[in-house]
Amino acid sequence: MFFNTIFALAAVASVSAHGWVHTALIGGKKYSGPYPFDNKPGASPIRQIITTSPIKNALDGNMNCGIGSKKASIVAPANPGDKITITWRSTATKNWGHTLGPIMTYLAQVPGGQTADKFDTKNAKFFKIAQTGQSGGPGSGWVMAGLKKGNTYSFDLPNNLPAGDYIIRHELIALHFAWNQKDSPQFYPTCMQIRVGGGSKSPQAVAGAQTVSFPGGYTPNDKSLYVPNIFKNNFVYTFPGPKLYKSNSARDEIPGSNSTITEESKRAVIVPEEHRRMIKARRGE
């Protein structure tokens, strides 16, 4: 009975922590993310999803842009090298709730003759431009923990992007259940539509990027998605998906970089207290 009670409480806490992109600052303008349950969302470059619940299978057909993702009405103007800042929420008034897992961001070039607001992302070829996981060395906390504190998350567009339309695929993967193979990681992808002005003089500037499609970018048995050692002091996380795209930015020369969050999150402990209780309950301790 004690085990069932603790597990039920953990499950309720997990559900309440689901979420979506609440705001995005693109090209100096802040846009609201459409609330998933709003039947008449306002204009936004952020594609609306229909639920705050996660995807639990890496091969799910919604892995491209989120569950029930709908094309957005706006294409936000941006420039190469711009910093884009994201806020995640679990409800309209509560911060994102999970603390363990990577944050990754991809771009897909919209083919010539098409626009981002009409583009079907099932045909997109995504290349990774930013990734963030643990905040320090082996056994350290996770940058995602900062989102629970209400911190924003920022990444830079490559500074050698050709002009044109792009889809940003921004994703959180919550790993708090992924230590047990019977459970699964929780995927929270979302997509944004941008139009890059200026840009590289070379139309082949992103031609050498390693691309993937979603679903297909990850596999269910990926060692990055089943992490039985995640709570050990010597654990070092390996990111799923393709290699980071190299732009001309000096920041991109640092592995796992091209993204920032406030310093507060870097002091997060590797196993938050709520997860310690959950693990002990499952093990019958």
* CATH number, position 41: 2.70.50.70
Q: What is the pLDDT of residues 144-178, one digit of tens each?
A: 999 999 999 999 999 999 999 999 999 999 999 99
Q: Which amino acid is at 48?
A: Q
* pLDDT tens digits for range 114-133: 999 999 999 999 999 999 99
SS3 140: coil
Q: How many domains does the chain have?
A: 1
Strand order in the sheet with 259-261: 29-32, 20-26, 83-89, 153-156, 259-261
The answer to whether the peptide bond before residue 215 is cis (omega within 30 degrees of 0) is yes
Give the domain range for residue 131. Answer: 2-283
Give the pLDDT score at 85.
98
pTM summary value: 0.84
